[in-house]
Amino acid sequence: MGFTSFEGLRNGMAGRVAGRSVVAWVLTSALVGATGCGVAELPADEQGSELRTLEQALREENGLSLNGLSLNGLSLNGLSLNGLSTTNFSTWFNGDPANNDRLMRYMVRCAVPAGQTRTFTSSLTGTVYSWTGLLGLAPNWASGAPATVEEQQVISSCLGAHANNYGLNVSISVLGRDATGSTIPFSSEELSTFSRKESCFFGNVFTNEGLFAGNDRNALASDESTDRPCGLKGFGAQSNPACEQVKRIGQCEQYCTLDASGTYYTQCTYNGVQYKPLTTRIRAQDVHRCGDGVCQKGESCGFGITADSCLLDCGTCVL
């Protein structure tokens, strides 16, 4: 019932992670960096229904910022999500409550099942923080047991999938399996809405192994860009400077195995280690093109017609 240890959690954390994960069929507007977020909750009588499955599947609005946080070296081995009342947790949380609140929001929503919450009351301010579970990717950890390696990996994948250092919210579809091997529910409607295959994310931030991402069977054309610097890249592109904590590996299929339906990756092997990945998809309208008249994140000024030199949208560069 609580942290058995929080040793290592603050390693590499000169800054704290900020962001959130929202799961719902109806995504309500929220600002990255705000202390709250809006979620359209399902009526109790719909729990377990087909509608709930669809709503849980069409689920993500990313906005986790990795700015200022070195995820390599982030150790959460002592964290129990079944009770947050220990002195170690209180000391850590009160060191930067605003940003640690956002980190815990992510951790709980990734790890803990829908319908459950985890609550912490600050001994310094009396403020009560409550974090809602949703994906249930790490059932043992959520129940108070130490995180298994599989749980460490899938939560790491979940963090990577939500990373957006541009500070923008972009709806995404997240596919894959939880730590026990159960498939995250999805529907044909979800796949149709989020029609652009994006990336695979995997790694282990609990054990200094890092986070990795690759393109899922396609790449951005030279005139394309997205609002997700940790996601889809052009062929041969290296890690985006806005997402330097995630290492690019090229194409997912070089390292990862697809499920039988070809919808998501079930495992990835990198540097001799086998990981549990998550696979993301985005909407077609969230891929921007140089020439659409709007200078968007991922595009740069210049004299060309490519995303990194887009005269039509961003003009010439002014020194």
Whether residue 59 is predicted with pLDDT greater than 80 in this model: the reply is no
Instruction: Give the model's pLDDT for residue 93.
Output: 80
Q: What mean pLDDT is predicted for residues 14-37?
A: 24
Six token digits for residue 311 = 């005269």
Q: What mean pLDDT is predicted for residues 251-266?
A: 97
Is residue 60 within 8 Å of residue 170, measured between CB atoms? Answer: no
Q: What mean pLDDT is predicted for residues 94-119?
A: 84
Predicted TM-score (pTM) of this structure: 0.77
pLDDT digits (tens, 9 = 90+) for 211-220: 999 999 999 9
pLDDT confidence band for 289 (50 / 70 / 90): very high
Strand-pairing partners, residue 267, are 257
- Comparing 193 with 34, the larger pLDDT belongs to 193
Q: Any idea where the domains of the chain sit in the sequence?
A: 44-282, 287-319
State the average pLDDT for the chain.
Answer: 76
Instruction: Give the model's pLDDT for residue 127.
Output: 94
